[in-house]
Structure 1
Amino acid sequence: MDDLASIRRVADHFDLPISTLHYWERRGLITPHRRFGHRYYNADQIYRIALIRLWRTTGQMSLNEIVAVLAERADTSGWRDTVTTRIAAIETQMTQLDTARSYLRDLLSCPHDDALEHCEGFRAQIALPAKDHQ
């Protein structure tokens, strides 16, 4: 059991509050070893913690999605649906961020500092509603 790391060491290493590790344990995401009432993690659990942290920060996955991906079930292909859905959501968000960046760059080159809605580059990207016929 000498290859175990204490909860404090793991929390500090990943810059996580200890309460986060407790919560992940309650959710069934991680399983620490117990020694004299204290939690310790082996290498497999530390890698799992790293994976969960990565998904939470860069993959922008909810804990419910992570639970679905990491849950041990007889049907091991169900997690792929969760990951595929998450990839689609990230791709949509990337498209939206690209659009936002483009708008903002156009605004930086706009000579209308007092009326940004008059910028030609911005106006060229916006579709106006059809006119009412009266």
Structure 2
Amino acid sequence: MGSGNDGLTPIRDVADHFGLPLSTLHYWERRELVAPTRRAGQRWYDTEQLYRVALIKQWRTTGLIGVEHIAEMLGDGPGRREAVPELIAECERRRAELDEALDYLNRLHACR
């Protein structure tokens, strides 16, 4: 990913690297999930913000964690203490469902 001498990466490079539309990064900024630096009207991302983008993308890719929960988990408020255990339980429930589906498909595949 291209970055300037100051360690900042332009928004276009961030979007391309993570396979995200620019509108997604703009939306995440409006929701205060990321806070890029502004220079001459353009958004630039430092290393911390790049890590946040990677984390948010991973969470969103699962389809399990909504933007509201992500904001709670990235924030310092009391919502994090409640959101994380709930999401762990939901992930475990989903994993069990996927394991059952996979077992069924493997049995189906083995049948003649």
**Range class of TM-score, shorter chain:** 0.7 to 0.9
Partner of 1:37: 41
- TM-score with structure 2 setting the length: 0.83
Counterpart mapping for 1:1-12 below 5 A: 2-12=6-16
Paired amino acid for 1:91? E
Higher relative contact order (CA 8 A, sep 6+): 2
| CA separation of 1:109 and 1:5: change in aligned 2, threshold 3 A | closer
| CA separation of 1:107 and 1:8: change in aligned 2, threshold 3 A | same
More helix by share: 2
Q: Which of the numbers 59, 69, 77 marks the counterpart of 1:55?
A: 59
Percent identity reads 49
CA drift of 1:40 comes to 0.6
Matched, 1:105 2:109: no
Count of residue correspondences = 108
The runs of at least 4 aligned residues of structure 1 exceeding 6 Å deviation read none
Counterpart mapping for 1:76-115 below 5 A: 78-110=79-111
Pairwise CA RMSD: 2.0
CA drift of 1:52 comes to 0.9
CA drift of 1:53 comes to 1.1
Partner of 1:20: 24
CA drift of 1:6 comes to 0.4
CA drift of 1:59 comes to 7.7
Gaps of 5+ in 1: 112-134
3-state SS of 2:85 partner: helix
